[in-house]
Amino acid sequence: MLTRFDFPVGFVFGAATAAYQIEGSAFGGCGPCHWDSFASTPGNVVRAEDGSRACDHYHRWEEDLDLLKAANLDGYRFSTSWARVMPDGVNVNPEGLDFYDRLVDGMLARGLKPFQTLYHWEMPSALADLGGWTNRDTCHRFADFSEAITRRLGDRVSAIATINEPWCVAWLSHFMGVHAPGLRDIRATARAMHHILLAHGLALERLRCMGQPNLGIVLNFDHATPATDSPEDQAASDLWDAIFNRWFIEGITRRTYPANVLKGLGPHMPENWQDDMALIGQPLDWLGVNYYTRHLHAHAPGTPWPSLRDVPGELPRTQMGWEIYPEGLHHFLIRLARDHVGDLPIYVTENGMANADVVEDGQVNDDVRESFLFTHLAATKQAIADGANVRGFFYWSLLDNYEWAEGYEKRFGLVHVDFDTLARTPKSSYHALARALARND
Ligand code: FCB
């Protein structure tokens, strides 16, 4: 069994969460966000559940930070909600700033390194009304938010990520319609695909001017596997790879977008998008990598661009229906270092699995998660041995929480949450991780 001593000195082991998924947006003067309206539209979210109470972390944050510390973790990846800090998208809510101030101090008091994410999807409704990420102006509002929250927390956080998972923000939410705002519109998609990176660039520039160190972005990656070795399926899989795994990192590191994606999105891109690429391509201090699974694709003749379809694979699956494929994590860590970021520090900022966990006699047995976690840690260790500069690993998630369109049904936590009583019960995977991370002192 791996322990912390199998990893380089200073490697950060952590767990991750996001504001809307745990805090409870009904508390503390938080404003409405596009997830509230998406969730209250029938058919979008399982049982139309929303994040108004979630895990009530807003009130129980001390207990939750204690859980991180007792697991012997070194860091905590959390996010600061735009709608909590700026309920109308413009004016600052002092209660929101105070909450995050207490939270960061609470982490430091427990020896936990704060890894902050600025946008983990709470677009204030007032800005969603103006077009959200389809509107270029939103990018400037995001830079304003980034500045306001950083003025308050910037002296104490270890690292800041601008955006969590641009692919989900843009493609999943504007092309597939699965996440808020639930659009299925190629023109909106092209705009969101570009504007989300422009928002990143503007925020980065603003925070750099303030002298803020250790700035990065969190991208997600999905291993693209062709369904067969026919040239058509290979091309379909390459296109998926370009849409998911190359668009954002190439925008940042090469200041251009993949040609096979521009073939479809080009006519819908905002005017003169090329002029933004220098801003988007500013150097990063670190890269965050979220990795969960792989997908198989085949060519789908007779359907509009991108003309591909999902083909089910044969690997064991999680409660989300996602195939378990740790080799994919090794693949991306090596590939990103080799093709894109060289020696830049990389953090695995999310990796985890959902499982239908139940409490029995006060305990939760999730051996399957333990094995998932340790095989992905082993893939990370191998990537380090093969030359990738990986500096940390954050498990998704600390707590069972609001899993977006899946409501509260899918459980990703190291800690079980009873959504009636809000009682927290550490699972067996939590205890296994705590043992592996014990410091021998
Ligand atoms: C990622 C999200 C995170 C969580 C996990 C399961 O796409 O960043 O909020 O939902 O998936």
How many domains would you assign to the chain?
1
* Residue among 165, 289, 320 to mutate when testing ligand 1 (max atoms within 8 A of CB): 165
- Name the pLDDT band for 170 (thresholds 50, 70, 90): very high
Whether 164 is in the pocket of ligand 1, judged by its Cβ within 6 Å, is yes
Enclosing domain of residue 365: 4-437
What is the average pLDDT across 194-214?
98
Does the structure show a pLDDT above 70 at 255? yes
Ligand 1 centroid, distance to 285 Cα (angstroms): 23
Q: Which residues in 251-260 are b (16+ Cβ under 10 Å) and which e?
A: bbbeeebbeb
Q: What is the pLDDT of residue 440?
A: 76
Ligand 1: nearest atom to the Cα of 410: 6
pLDDT at 247 over 70: yes
pTM for this predicted structure: 0.98
Q: Is 20 in the pocket of ligand 1 (CB under 6 A)?
A: no
The Cα angle at residue 292 between residues 288 and 293, in degrees rounded to 5: 130
pLDDT at 16 over 70: yes
For the segment 41-62, the average pLDDT, to the nearest whole number, is 98
Q: How far is the CA of 370 from the centre of ligand 1 (A)?
A: 19
Taking the C-alpha atoms of residue 178 and residue 195, their distance in angstroms, rounded to an integer, is 19
CATH number of the domain within which 8 lies? 3.20.20.80
341 and 401 in contact (C-beta within 8 Å)? no
pLDDT at residue 441 in the model: 62
Mean pLDDT score across all residues of the chain: 98
Average pLDDT over residues 254-271: 98
Summarize the confidence of residues 195-212 as an average pLDDT.
98
Counting residues of the chain whose pLDDT is more than 90, the rounded percentage is: 99
111-135 average pLDDT score: 98
Percent of the chain residues past pLDDT 70, beyond the cut: 100
Confidence of residue 129 (pLDDT cuts 50, 70, 90): very high
